[in-house]
């Protein structure tokens, strides 16, 4: 009640043509745009960095890779006392629920190792963001929203909101090559990859007329090659291609989605809209993605253990960023 009264008094006073009110009003008009500008711009400081996205099924090793690359420079400071601290090691990880971004640097020619500490060597460095996404099926929307041409929706659960206009320079699809060896993981992994590639394809072909958005190359990182059960990269590639082909076939024969064709977007469904790669082709191969300017490369490696390591992935990332 009392609050209301003061408010009322305040309101009445503000309507009287007193110099104070004029002054306040004037000041308000003057500063409002400035304030607004500050409000709007303060948030977008990180969005200008180029970024590389990590996607892939849960447990593939995305977060492990992210932490490995981030902690790289810590393990061998300035290259002076090499491997006193041993090789760089990733942090232990568990299932992710929220995306995470890490700022990394690579020398401008893209050849520095992730173990080099660029600040110490004084080389000119390019900075970029590596963005890790959760792989749990219920949370894949967060990753896929980065790929849609429309504005990516931000994740409400994380304090880190998906960088809206991030300049996406590349996409790394991490998968567990050891799990792929036995039955069930292959269809699940391939299904996610299918969704990712299809999103990229739609992004490339969707922008008809206007100039297409810059192409996003894809690295398929076959992880955990340190385990002896893991499939080698070449086998991973052929298995994935075969499985993607199968998925493509069954999806084209599948039921329509609810809502499709019911409303006004009847015109929206075209034959072959959901067909990945060259339409009507019998076998799928990653080469078909080149038609949409999407380069796909399969490279093996490992985050842990004494396998092939992550250097080739880093090189790929460094060159695209």
Ligand X SMILES: Nc1nc2c(ncn2[C@@H]2O[C@H](COP(=O)(O)OP(=O)(O)OP(=O)(O)O)[C@@H](O)[C@H]2O)c(=O)[nH]1
Which position among 188, 215, 290, 304 is part of the footprint of other proteins (CB under 8 A)?
A: 188
Within 10 angstroms of residue 46's Cβ, the number of other Cβ atoms is 14
Q: Which is nearer to Mg ion, 63 or 112 (CB)?
A: 63
Which residues, 100 to 119, sit near other proteins by CB under 8 A? 100-103
Segment contacting ligand X by CB under 6 A, of 73-81, 151-159, 258-266, 299-307: 299-307
CA atoms within 13 A on the CB side of 182: 2
User: ∠320-110-234 over CA atoms, to 5°?
Assistant: 60
Q: Which is nearer to ligand X, 203 or 224 (CB)?
A: 224
Q: Is 223 in the site for ligand X (CB under 6 A)?
A: yes
Are the CB atoms for 78 and 117 separated by under 8 Å?
yes
Which position among 72, 73, 99, 134 is part of the footprint of ligand X (CB under 6 A)?
A: 134
Among ligand X, other proteins, Mg ion, none, partner that 91 touches (CB below 5 to 8 angstroms by kind): other proteins
Q: SS3 of 83, please?
A: coil
Residues 188-207, one symbol each (x = binds ligand X by CB under 6 A, - = not), give --------------------
Q: Is 155 in the site for Mg ion (CB under 5 A)?
A: no
Are the CB atoms for 129 and 49 separated by under 8 Å?
yes
Q: Which of 219, 160, 60 is nearest to 152 (CA)?
A: 160
**Cα–Cα distance for residue pair 197/12, rounded to 1 Å:** 62
Q: Is 181 in the site for ligand X (CB under 6 A)?
A: no
CB of 212 to ligand X, least distance (A): 30
CB of 57 to Mg ion, least distance (A): 10
Q: Is 47 in the site for other proteins (CB under 8 A)?
A: no
Which residues, 54 to 83, sit near ligand X by CB under 6 A? 56, 58-64
Direct distance between the N- and C-terminal alpha carbons of the chain, in angstroms, rounded to an integer: 60
What is the distance of C-alpha 17 from the center of its chain? Answer: 56
Which sign, positive or negative, has the C-alpha torsion 55, 60, 65, 67?
A: positive
CA atoms within 13 A on the CB side of 134: 17
Which position among 136, 202, 312, 315 is part of the footprint of other proteins (CB under 8 A)?
A: 136
Q: Is 302 in the site for Mg ion (CB under 5 A)?
A: no
What H or E segment, with its residue span, contains residue 318? helix 311-320
Which position among 129, 221, 222, 299 is part of the footprint of other proteins (CB under 8 A)?
A: 129
Q: Is 51 in the site for ligand X (CB under 6 A)?
A: no
Q: At what angle do helices 185-206 and 233-253 cross, to 10 degrees?
A: 70
Q: Which residues bind Mg ion (CB under 5 A)?
A: 62-63, 96
The site for ligand X (CB under 6 A) is made up of 56, 58-64, 93, 95-96, 134-136, 174, 223-224, 226-227, 302-305
């Amino acid at each position: 009640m009392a609050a209301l009264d003061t408010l009322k008094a305040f309101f009445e006073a503000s309507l009287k043509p007193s110099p104070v009110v004029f002054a306040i009003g004037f000041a308000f008009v003057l500063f409002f745009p400035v304030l607004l500008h500050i409000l709007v711009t303060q948030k977008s400081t990180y969005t200008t960095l180029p970024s590389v996205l990590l996607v892939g099924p849960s447990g593939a090793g995305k977060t492990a890779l992210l932490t490995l690359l981030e902690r790289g420079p810590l393990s061998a400071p300035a290259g002076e006392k090499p491997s006193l601290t041993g090789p760089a090691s990733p942090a232990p990880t568990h299932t992710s629920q929220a995306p995470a971004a890490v700022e990394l640097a690579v020398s401008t020619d893209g050849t520095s190792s992730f173990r080099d500490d660029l600040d110490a060597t004084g080389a000119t460095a390019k900075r970029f963001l590596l963005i890790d996404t959760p792989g749990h099926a219920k949370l894949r929307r967060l990753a896929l929203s980065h790929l849609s041409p429309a504005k990516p929706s931000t994740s409400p659960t994380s304090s880190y909101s998906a960088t809206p206009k991030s300049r996406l320079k590349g996409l790394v699809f991490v998968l567990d090559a050891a799990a792929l060896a036995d039955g069930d993981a292959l269809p699940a992994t391939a299904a996610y990859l299918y969704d990712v590639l299809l999103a990229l394809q739609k992004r490339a072909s969707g922008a008809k007329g206007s100039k297409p958005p810059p192409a996003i190359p894809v690295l398929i990182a076959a992880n955990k090659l340190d385990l002896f059960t893991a499939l080698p990269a070449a086998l991973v590639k052929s298995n994935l291609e075969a499985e993607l082909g199968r998925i493509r076939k069954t999806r084209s024969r599948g039921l329509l989605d609810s809502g499709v064709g019911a409303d006004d977007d009847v015109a929206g469904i075209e034959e072959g809209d959901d067909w990945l790669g060259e339409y009507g082709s019998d076998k799928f191969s990653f080469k078909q993605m080149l038609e949409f300017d999407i380069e796909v490369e399969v490279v093996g490696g490992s985050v842990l253990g004494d396998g092939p390591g992550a250097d080739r992935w880093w090189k790929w990332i460094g060159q695209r960023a």
